[in-house]
Structure 1
Amino acid sequence: MNSSTAAPRFAFVGIAVSDMAASVAFYRRLGLAFPEGAEQEPHVEAELPGGVLLVLDSESTIRSFHPGWRPPTGGARVGLAFRCENPAHVDAVYEDLVGAGYHGELKPFDAFWGQRYAVVHDPDGNGVDLLSPLPGS
């Protein structure tokens, strides 16, 4: 790239989803705003702080322009993190999600790096970290 060409600007995190309604419900539960009716759409976007987007595309949408695409195997390929208000909020969000039937991968704990930390899986098995600084960290 020469000096007169600007670097590309990061725009979105995209996730291939097997069930749009389940994924929209999961991420709405974490506070993301998807448009009304997003559950029935093949492609949806939620704006994150700073203008970056979280984009959900159904597997059929991806195959419409990339017929040979197959879901990754061997585990999730993307991880997302949500900062909670305080350590107790990590526990409450984790319990809310697990209580709603989502898989709790790692129960909340006080991590050696100074955070209350937990991991849940979205409907497609992607890791979603919940975290908050511990007091005094």
Structure 2
Amino acid sequence: MPTTVKIIDIVVSDLAGAIEFYRRLDLEFVRDQYMPDDHAGCDLPNGLHLMLDTDEMRSKTTAHWTPPKLGRVFLTVEYDSAAEVDAKYAELVAAGVTGLQEPYDAPWGMRYATVADPSGNGVDLYANLAAS
């Protein structure tokens, strides 16, 4: 049986802040009824599920785990045009989100920008330049 990735779990230090941040990217997380302060999930297209777990929950469920100093996950969000990438980046930075890379035309044919979620995890914003 081939390996199938069904869930991506992002560990965050502030669940409410993370939910609000990802809502700005049009991702709607629902808090878990059994662990509303530590876990939330969001269904994505094609059966993929994105989860947010707090540092506290991860340290309870994973032996010897400690939060990294910097996020090591980069979620990538696709937009239809370069203008949308620029607008979303500007909107997020204006709302106080940390910008890690201002929008630019990458040599691999994409308009690309990067911000950090409230826990320091990277979020890339991109659009294919051919489609823009």
Q: TM-score, normalized by length of structure 2?
A: 0.89
Number of residue pairs the alignment of both structures matches: 130
Identical counterparts, % of pairs: 42
Residue among 82, 89, 95 paired with 2:90: 95
Per-residue deviation, 1:24: 0.5
Given residue 45 of structure 2, which amino acid in structure 1 is its aligned partner? P
Match of 1:78 in 2: 73
Per-residue deviation, 1:50: 1.0
Residue among 100, 107, 116 paired with 1:105: 100
Greater share of strand:
2
Contact preservation (8 Å) 2:15, 2:38: yes
Gaps (5+ residues) in structure 2?
A: none
| TM-align CA RMSD | 2.0
Note if 1:62 corresponds to 2:58: yes
Match of 1:123 in 2: 118
Per-residue deviation, 1:36: 6.8
Q: Deviations over 1:63-85 (max 9, x none)?
A: 22235320123x32111110012
Look up the SS of the partner of 1:50 in the other structure: helix
Per-residue deviation, 1:8: 3.6
Given residue 48 of structure 1, which amino acid in structure 2 is its aligned partner? L
Gaps (5+ residues) in structure 1?
A: 1-5
Per-residue deviation, 1:62: 1.3
Match of 2:49 in 1: 53
Note if 1:14 corresponds to 2:12: no
Structure ID, larger Rg: 1
Q: Deviations over 1:109-136 (max 9, x none)?
A: 1112111110001111111110001147
Distance 1:36 1:85 in 2: 29
Match of 2:29 in 1: 34
